[in-house]
Amino acid sequence: MNEWTPIRTEQSVPALGTLPVEARPEDLPAAYRPGAFLFTSPAGVLLAEGERAVLTSPVEAAGALGADEIVVGAIPFDPAAPSRLVIPEVVRRSGPLPAAARQAPGVSAHWLAQHTDADAYRTGVRRALELMESGALSKVVLARRLDLVAAEPVDVLDLVRALAARDPRGHTFAADLGDRTLLGTSPELLIRRTGSVVSSNPLAGSRPRAEDPVLDGRNATALLSSAKDRREHAVVVTAVADALAPYCKQLTVPSEPELLPTRSMWHLSTQVTGVLADPDTPVLELATALHPTPAVCGTPTAAARRVIGELEPFDRGFYTGVVGWSDARGDGEWVVTIRCGEVRGATLRLFAGAGLVLGSDPEAELAETGAKLRTLLGALGVEESA
């Protein structure tokens, strides 16, 4: 890993832009309606409604904002594919949701069927390991889908409320894609810019949470001491730091990862912070420089992307892309689009992936994707069929 100049940074989370505070935090998820954009994070809650303009690329968006405007939306996994970015008509924001755990509201749906590609996933993992043994690449992230089919259109509002309530300090999002709604709760901050200060929170390496506190602690300890997971994590942190280094006059990269708990998973986590050399560098430029990280693609990036295209039996679309907001000053917050799904009528398509390195086991990686799917399945009150 390269050498970076260490700095001291404040640990408090900056405010979400400078728009007037108009609502209590818990009011905005309740006010969300399909077609709007909702984004919650430890920095605050943002609800954007209406479409003043719809844009298809981050470059186009960066040059289209008026002085008091913001852009919200999603960028796909493939940076060459069209984005879905909106300059909204109305924006409301508040401080962060209360940290205290709350009972999530129920999601009313009569589920008729589940469709999974678990067998294809096992086959893909075995093939990826063969390619790694031949030296074609050192890491690749393979994903799978789980489709839930309901008797009636899925209630997006209920699901968004449930996700926000289950993880009030996470990054819950809902973005209109035109013909479907992208929603989820991501644990991974790709980039936040507040003035000249930037931060990123790469995650790689994970274990499922357990209801038994003793087993849960063992899972956390096993993850923190796992040489395989720490190697995988180091690859991602190095890539993030290398991508940010040309933009920063100071960069802090901790030498050891920490444990980040979510409701369903333990993650290895590193907080990377920096000070921009050019304070006018916009957050969208930083996001496109970072995306995709090895945490969702692999390394080398080009080789991993080719393997993903060959082995995954579906187009990722906006899964493992980025979702968030930015303003005309260049400030903003973008997270990696994971722990997510897409609602289209009566179908809810869920996605989950796992990072593969030499030594990975197909059954263990499948189990990891199952644990990650529980972020949304738990909000629905259902379990994946065997």
| Catalytic residue IDs | 139, 188
3-state DSSP of the chain: CCCCCCCCCCCCCCCCCCCCECCCCCHHHHHCCECEEEEEECCEEEEEECCCEEECCHHHHHCCCCCCCEEEEEECCCCCCCCEEEECCEEEEECCCCCCCCCCCCCCCCEEEEEECHHHHHHHHHHHHHHHHCCCCCEEEEEEEEEEEECCCCCHHHHHHHHHHHCCCCEEEEEECCCCEEEEEECCEEEEEECCEEEECCEEEEEECCCCHHHHHHHHHHHHCCHHHHHHHHHHHHHHHHHHHHHEEEEECCCCCEEEECCCEEEEECCEEEEECCCCCCHHHHHHHHCCCCCCCEECHHHHHHHHHHHCCCCCCCCCCEEEEEECCCCEEEEECCCEEEEECCEEEEEEEEEECCCCCHHHHHHHHHHHHHHHHHHHCCCCCC
- Please give the angle made by the CA atoms of 254, 256 and 261, to the nearest 5 degrees: 100
